[in-house]
Structure 1
Amino acid sequence: MATVADVVAWADRRYPPKLAEDWDAPGLSVGDPRRVVRHVRFAVDPTIAVAREAIAAGADMLITHHPLMLRGVTTVAANTAQGAVVHTLIGNGCALFAAHTNADAVDGGVAEALALAIGMNVEGPLVPVEPGSVDGTGRIGTIAPTSLREFAARVAAVLPATAGGVLFAGNPDGMVTSVAVVGGSGGSFIGDAVSSGVDAFVTADLRHHPATDAREAAALTDGKPYLVSVSHSASESLWLEGAAGELAQALDVTTSVSTLNTDPWTGHAPSTI
């Protein structure tokens, strides 16, 4: 019979904390390591709705991609957003663990799940933790030749539907054969995508100025890399099923994946182009 500590030990082996960024806060944030675990729920975000869903599903432990308390907090009072999650979980005997940038970087983690889902032949990390490593930020690889328009549609088709959908920048008829991906907010890696020479860069939360700068620079050369901007939570959700399956094989627990869409945007008013 597995305990919270057993699940944590498995997660730390599978997603080594040493791969996490210095600013990150992965690990166990709620729960008694000695408590028995029979059912583990997986989700991207530790929202109050996700916590309630996990409890309704009979989960003893919730593993999320994003930490609940990534930034410093001074209270977990039940009338605060984070406090409500903490009290809901503790009150129902459910632990909370996060595997964040360590799960992003690890071989077979978040970035790789995204890359494989969009049909990439993965060659390795976009930014390895060290030369020759299979771990690192993002993934780079090739796809069968397709237009940017068709590629963006493929990305949209494999991701959970969100109000924002998928945006792209570049010649819709331009050919794409090589791709770099970073799950979650990867705007700071545009330069790495440019240096890699890929045709397209897929990530989430691309801001106006970095995207504009990248497209202006691309206009001076061959117009590449094209940019494809997706939902943050959607880009990281494809990892959940695989992670849940790996845990179920490793320990005597059942696992399940949240069915909730935790993208914060709930509507979209299209403009005319």
Structure 2
Amino acid sequence: MNLSNLLSTFEKLWPSHTAEDWDRPGLMIGNPDQQVQKVLLSVDVTADVLEQAVSEGAQLLLTHHPLLLRPVHELGELTLKGNLVSKAIRSNLAIFSAHTNADIAVDGVSQSIAKLFGLTNTSALVTTSGHGIVGDVDETTLIEFARKIAKLLPSTAQGIKVAGSSDRKISRVGLVGGAGDSFLPIAAQSGLDLFITSDLRHHPAQDFSEQAKLVNGPALIDISHWAAEWVWLDSAAKQLSRLHPEVDFVVSDLRTDPWDFAVMQ
């Protein structure tokens, strides 16, 4: 299949105009006229993922995080970006990313996580933009729900970090895939029992949890950024396989979470 046909599908599934202003999704490397028979999906572009794509005969690497999100001023092969770009070009490997435009899409990142966690009666956390998901779960305790999602997500050194009483009752859950501390103020006012996101910094998480103690606000769970967004890859591969059965869409099994191990105290 011509890459340009896939690019048209990507635009329909994850419209570029819905990406955040600071984001840089789209075709990073490649010729729209090149042929594609196999696509590897990954959260990140790393040296190992790129090697996997080439060794498994993929012509396109579809990632969530853009390879060139931030400005790059040199592409020497002893620089990280330069090394990856050079290897991809020499291997005739195209690279495309769907980032914040995939976060809010139908069957996108947040919706895929919500389905995995068993949320029902779902709607957007932020109705004006479509960010995040809120929904219901069968009543359970915070510790049991944390254990449940720990089993559902791929394992990482971070594990599942929880703020709140372990025996707190949980039935109304909100979540944002990826780094979501900017959504904490909205989550605090949304009638939730629990809010789940990733990459929470000390002060925003502490303020949220301390305020929750005062007004019986939501408990908080911090999950791995990579693990949360890896969930979406399977959904995206299935969507694309239905639309283009002549192309082989494969989800990478490589863990690109940056942490290798944790020492518990």
TM-score where L is the length of structure 1: 0.95
Q: Which residue of 2 aligns with 1:166?
A: 160
Q: Which residue of 2 aligns with 1:181?
A: 175
- Cα RMSD, aligned residues only: 1.0
Q: Which residue of 2 aligns with 1:227?
A: 220
Q: Which residue of 1 aligns with 2:8?
A: 9
Q: Which residue of 1 aligns with 2:235?
A: 242
Partner Cα distance (1:64, 1:95) in 2: 11
TM-score where L is the length of structure 2: 0.97
Q: Which residue of 2 aligns with 1:133?
A: none
Matches within 5 A, 1:110-259: 110-129=109-128, 136-222=130-216, 224-251=217-244, 252-259=246-253
Partner Cα distance (2:100, 2:171) in 1: 27
Q: Which amino acid aligns with 1:219?
A: K
Q: Which amino acid aligns with 1:226?
A: A
Partner Cα distance (2:44, 2:128) in 1: 26
Partner Cα distance (2:128, 2:62) in 1: 24
Rate the CA distance shift 1:101–1:122 in 2: closer, same or farther, 3 A: farther
Matches within 5 A, 1:255-266: 255-266=249-260
Q: Which amino acid aligns with 1:243?
A: A
The Cα of 1:128 is off from its aligned counterpart by 2.5
Matches within 5 A, 1:64-103: 64-103=63-102
Give the 3-state SS of the residue equivalent to 1:239 in structure 2: helix
Give the 3-state SS of the residue equivalent to 1:267 in structure 2: coil
Contact 1:29–1:97 (Cα < 8 Å) also in 2: yes
Question: Structure 2: any 5+ residue segments left out of the alignment?
Answer: none
Question: Structure 1: any 5+ residue segments left out of the alignment?
Answer: 131-135
State the identity %: 41
The Cα of 1:117 is off from its aligned counterpart by 0.6
Q: Which residue of 1 aligns with 2:53?
A: 54
